[in-house]
Each structure stands twice: as structure tokens, then as C-alpha cells.
Amino acid sequence: MGVSLDGQKAVVTGGAQGIGFAIAERLLKEGASVALWDMNAEELANAAAALSGQGTVTTHQVDIVDHAAVEQAAAATEAEGGAIAILVNSAGISGPTVPMIEYDPREWKRVVDIDLYGTFNVNQTIVRRMIDKGYGRIVNIASIAGKEGNPNASAYSAAKAGVIALTKSLGKETAHLDIAVNCITPAVAKTRILEQCTQAHIDYMLSKIPRGRLLLVEEIAAMVAWLVSRENSFTTGATFDLSGGRATY
């Protein structure tokens, strides 16, 4: 049995592929209309075509690091019809897999800008609208790396740790409202982001998972669907584990 998201407008950043796409597909199945926000215009067009017939889907090419662009995308999304009730912030990059002492500072900053500052931009812009409407559900996609710190992924690990802390902070700030802000910490999932990682790094991450396999994007989408539903009326500022037994806290 699924959850009901009938009549709700959802924004999914990074929604053109991978985890974001799977989440968008599940939200559509549960009755939501979905606005896909992504940097890649070609992937957005492909995603919209793939999701056609499954529900109402719109697309917006937006750089989440650009605060003005995020504001414009939010206004355009609402102009399409209805307040934004759901946000899933899935946009992100993994960055190079190199020791921290060898990390190009410009690349380190780029990863943190997209994965953490971008999350701040999107959360701030949309939660303001949710406060005005008196309702909202937010899920930020963090990572098990944010809990444990994967070697040779210092920027990604640091950024995702920041996403966890940001979520906890914002969840407390909005706890007196009917707004839930939570995050999930997936282990390595079977998506194209793995193309950015060395095979040695993938093997390392896989070796840490007691389940002994990669996480499926459909499993992520199932958890997110509940977290963004009205049924999740109490839990906020929390971190939900999707690590296949790897996480120890």
C-alpha cells in the first residue's frame, strides 16, 4: 500500500536522472505533480518524456548554487499551479576520489558549493514559501559518507555531514509548524554518479555494506514517499538510514 500525495506539488532537484528521477517517478505514482529542477537541459527533456503519461511533470533548468536562479525557479513552479508542498533535494556531485592532501582546492570548493550551499539555497527559498502556507515536507539527500567520512572523498563527506546538520537545525526551527524537514543517508546506490568514482572507491564502499549489494533507487524512493506524506506528522530534524547495515549510529 502506498501513501497519498494527491493534489500536492513537489519539487525534486537533480530530478532528471538517478535517485532524483526515481523519487519523482514514485511521487507521481502517489498522486503528486512534480517539477524537476536540474542543470542539464537534455536530461530534463529525456526525463519529462520518460515520465509522460504518469502524471503532471514540468521541468526547470536551474543551477542550485545561484540563489537568484533558485528564487526564479520557485516562483515559476508556483505559477504553474499550486503552492510547493514537497521538496526533495537530490542534486549533487561526488567529486574526485583522491586523498585530501592531493585535492584541488577549486574542486573541493565546487563540491561543497553544490552539495551543501546548493542545499541551503533550495531549502531557504522553499521553506519560506512553506511557512507562508503553513505546511511542507522536505527531504534532503545526504549520505552515509556524511556520518562516517569516506576516505578519498573529503569534500563529499564534509558536504554531506553539513547537509545532515543543516537538516537538524532547520527541522528544529520549523518544528512548531506543520513542516517536516528530514534527511536520508544512503549507502552507495546503483546510479550514474558512480561514473565519477574509481572502481577501487566503489569496491571500498560496497565492502562496507553488510547487505553485500548496492542500494536500489526504488528503495530510496519508497522511504522518501512516506517522509514527504501527511502521515509523517511528527518526525522532523531526523536522519533516516539507508546503509544496508553499515551505519553504527
9-239, CATH topology level? Rossmann fold (3.40.50)
Residue listed under C-alpha cell 545532515 = 164
Per-residue pLDDT reduced to its tens digit, 24-33: 999 999 999 9
135 is catalytic: no
The band of 2, judged by pLDDT with boundaries at 50, 70 and 90, is low
State the pTM of this model.
Answer: 0.94
pLDDT of residue 199: 81
Please report the pLDDT score of residue 196 as a whole number.
65
- Give burial (CB, 10 Å; 0-12/13-18/19+) of 82: middle
| pLDDT for 198 beyond 80 | no
Q: Which of 103, 156, 204, 249 is catalytic?
A: 156
pLDDT value of residue 22: 97
pLDDT for the residue 202: 81
Is the CB of residue 180 less than 8 Å from the CB of residue 238? no
Q: Where are the domains of the chain?
A: 9-239
φ/ψ of 112, rounded to 5, equals -65, -35
For 212, counting Cβ atoms within 10 Å of its Cβ (0-12 exposed, 13-18 middle, 19+ buried), the class is exposed
| Strand 179-186 versus strand 239-242 pairing type | parallel
**Distance (Å, whole) CA 114 – CA 92:** 6
> What nine digits make up the cell of 75?
516562483
pLDDT at position 156 over 90:
yes
